[in-house]
Amino acid sequence: MEQLLEEGIDVIKANQGNMNQDPYYLQKKKKQLTACHLEDSGMQSLDTSFAIATSQVKKEREANKRLEEKLQKLKEKHRIQHMLMLTNTGSALSRIRRGMRMEIEELILYLTANKSDLEDQNAAIVENKREIEYLQEQISSTSVQLLMKRKENEAMKADIKKEKQILSNQVKLLYEKDEVKEKDPKVAVPEKMEESTEKKILPTDTLLFDQPWFHAELTRNDAEMLLDDYKDIPGAFLVREPASSTNYAISFIFQQVCNHMMIQQKFKEGKMKYYLFRYHLKFDSIFELIEYYHQYPIIMGQTQNTFVMLTVAVPKINDYEARPWFSNVSKIEAEDMLNSVLLDGAFLVRPSSQESEDGKKALAISLRGNDKICHIRITKDGEQFTIGGPAGFTFGNLIELIYYYKYQPIYLNTKLTHPINKEILEQKTSSALMQSPHLHVYESIKEHPITVHALYDFKARRADELSFECGAVITNVEKIHEDWWRGEYKGSRGVFPASYVKEIL
């Protein structure tokens, strides 16, 4: 019965809303309880049970009412808190907006100040640019004036030199007159002596013309062309006198690259002194300077192995018979020599066995190319050399011709790359070959050709440099120096920075 009452209470709780809507709800429940009482006569009366149930329902109503009031208070509290939160959020947003506005204003002020500074800097740059342009104009004007002064000084030097020679001759004449008068006062000495009895006084510099290493009126490019045949001989050198300058220069091979150094002049203690640029050791003549650096090194840097001593003198430009590629041999001997070197590009120059039709002197290039030996005639007409017959190319000298075809194909894409002579061939089969400067000619037969591709663009600034663009493939590369290599690209051959390329393995 108690269990049934509890279930009834639960039902009343669950259906409280129905109780308010259905006035017969309690009577229906009463009938149900009455039926239950009839089954168990030992229980209390139905009225008592109903009263208890009614009391429970009232309590539940009161509890529900209290819960509703509490829920209403919680809703009101939540609404107040929500309003406070909205208020606080609005204040925070206002503070954030105000802070951002202040930062933006500060940033605008900073940018305005920077803009003003930049405008001032731009104005200063424009002013500096104007000053630089003005200075450049002044420098150009000064350079022109200096060149004019230099020409005037050179003319004055020439006049002074002539006057000095005239004065020297006059002093000599007076001295000879005095000697004659002292010996025989009765002998009449003419005021003017015969030209044949007059001894010419030559400047000291004329002694240079007797030296094998001296080249008069030789340009920098021509010096590099001459030294190209000696690039494997450290210290090979020549002394040149540029046509456009009164100074001398020494050109020499260091690490297979042609280097140039000015020979400075300074008038000291009544004499002209000669010394190398950046060196303080002075000499009375260029001859003494060259002899000194034959025995003592020229320092090229501050690390080890950065010095060179002068060794082999490069002969004058017309002395082609002294070049390593010239041999006074016959056609048959030339073929035998080339057959002993199985290397394309091996060549020599020799006298031709047949003169040209007009009786002019002729030479011949014997060349190995594409596993064949061919002979190419060169006609000599005075100081000019022509290759390829009357309609061929003409060069001012033979050395220039050979230099040109070192870097341009002369026969079936073959270039004059490896000069040979009897001395080189003898060294090939002897132990002295290890000391030969031309050892690379024969070692290159065993080596695989090196090919590289360019990482950057490079534009040549000198005649012996090779221009190429990024991605170019350069073939037949020689690692002549740690920083500079030599190779071929688009029919040209020259040196380039090793850091600009990457080797293709």
Q: Are residues 495 and 469 in the same domain?
A: yes
User: Are 391 and 481 part of one and the same domain?
Assistant: no
Burial class (CB in 10 A: 0-12, 13-18, 19+), 255: middle
Which carries the bigger pLDDT value, residue 466 or residue 397?
466
Q: Tell me whether residue 337 is exposed, middle or buried, using C-beta atoms within 10 angstroms of its C-beta: 0 to 12, 13 to 18, 19 or more.
A: buried
Question: Residue 397 sits in a domain of what CATH number?
Answer: 3.30.505.10
Judge whether 26 lies within some domain. Answer: no
The CB density around residue 334, as the number of other CB atoms within 10 Å, is 22
pLDDT on residue 52: 81
Is residue 393 included in any domain, yes or no?
A: yes
Quick check: is 84 in a domain?
no
pTM of the model: 0.38
In a domain, 32, yes or no: no
Q: Is residue 182 part of a domain?
A: no
For the chain, the average pLDDT equals 75
The reply to whether 7 falls in a domain is no
Last residue of a domain, one of 286, 308, 330: 308
> End of a domain among 285, 308, 331?
308
384 and 332 fall within a common domain: yes
Per residue in 173-223, pLDDT tens?
544 444 444 444 333 333 333 333 333 333 345 467 678 888 876 788 888
The CATH code of the domain that includes 477 is 2.30.30.40
Domain-embedded: residue 81: no
Note the pLDDT tens digit of each residue in 13-37: 555 555 555 556 556 665 665 665 5
Please indicate, yes or no, whether residues 453 and 406 belong to a single structural domain of this protein.
Answer: no
Q: What share of the chain is helix, strand, coil (3-state, %, to 5)?
A: 50, 20, 30
User: What's residue 486's pLDDT?
Assistant: 86
The pLDDT tens digits of the residues spanning 448-457 come to: 568 899 999 9
Q: How many domains in the chain?
A: 3
Question: For residue 321, what are the contacts with CB-CB under 8 A and spacing of at least 6?
Answer: 328
**233 Rama sector, left if φ>0, alpha if ψ -120 to 50, beta otherwise:** beta
- CA gap 221, 231 in Å, rounded: 15
Q: With respect to residue 154, please indicate whether it lies within any of the assigned structural domains.
A: no
Residue 263 sits in the same domain as residue 355: no
User: Which domain, by its residues, includes 276?
Assistant: 204-308
- Indicate whether 271 and 296 sit together in one domain: yes
Question: In terms of pLDDT, which residue wins out, 32 or 270?
Answer: 270
